[in-house]
Structures are given as C-alpha cells and as structure tokens.
Amino acid sequence: MKMIRQYLVLVLFVCTMASCTKESVDTADIIEAKNVPEIESELLDVVNQHRLSLGQNSLKFSSVAYQYANEHTDYMMSRGSINHDNFSKRASSISSEEDAQFVAENVAKDYESASEALSGWLNSSNHKKTIEDEFTHTAVSVKANSDGILYFTQIFYR
C-alpha cells in the first residue's frame, strides 16, 4: 500500500510540474523602428507624379493605411525579409475602418531612395499594376533597420 501511495505522489508531482511549464510561442520580437519621413513623402510624391503622367488621379494620404503600413514594415524588419504575411487581416481591417472596396500593397527592401523604389516597382508587372490601378488613397511607410537597410510598405485602397 505504501508503494502505491509513493507512486501516486510521484505521478501527481510529475503532472503538477508538467502543467506549470511555460508554453512556447513562436513570436518574433517586433521592435518599432523610426520612420524615414523624407523618403516616405518623396515616394508618395513620385508615385502621384507617375499616376498623373498617365492621366490617373492623385492618391490621398490615409492615416489608417499608414498605421497598418508601419506595423507591417516593423514586422518585415523583424523577419529580415519582405513579405505579404497577414495581408488579408490588414486588408480586412482597412476595409472595415475606411469602408474600402479593394486594398492592395507593395513592399520593397534595399532601395536607397524613393525614385529607386518606384523604379523597382515599375519594373515588376504586378507592382506596376498596383501603382497604376484605380485607387483613391494610400500611405507609405519607410523605415531603416540598425544596418541602415530601408524597408518599404505602400498600401493602396479605394
């Protein structure tokens, strides 16, 4: 009987210890980096100049899109690469907050200026289509990591 009691105490102890372990969650440390407002403003200007040269409307700045663009730029920097991870969630949030019908985004990395980023996007058919599509609003987030590498997120909607 004493042996059974010791066994039960041991099982109870193991179960208690197992239930107290911390859950491992795979999350990246997302550090909010500082924006590069000069390049953000210039990129918005050159995108609008390009659109106007094609007879398209000029895009209006959206503070809501800017918030989501900033969050995504920080996320990409934490991963060290560009991506469109969680785009559906961003698009859905912007759609509900701004009553947007359609949302798109362009991302980039390693360009040193707004004109280089625009040139890179215009040399990609999908990015070019996004820039030239019938959108009404946009926001551009440009941030530099600790090595000075620039990350770009531009969100468009109508």
In-domain check, residue 25: no
Is pLDDT at 145 greater than 70 in this prediction? yes
Residues 17-27: tens digit of each pLDDT: 433 333 333 34
In-domain check, residue 91: yes
| Residue ranges making up the domain that contains 68 | 37-157
In-domain check, residue 107: yes
CATH number, domain containing residue 64: 3.40.33.10
In-domain check, residue 103: yes
Record the pTM. 0.80
In-domain check, residue 4: no
Residues 47-69 have a mean pLDDT of 99
Q: Count up the domains in the chain and report the number.
A: 1
Residues 87-104: tens digit of each pLDDT: 999 999 999 999 999 999
Confidence of residue 66 (pLDDT cuts 50, 70, 90): very high
In-domain check, residue 90: yes
Question: Using an 8 Å Cβ cutoff, are 93 and 152 in contact?
Answer: no
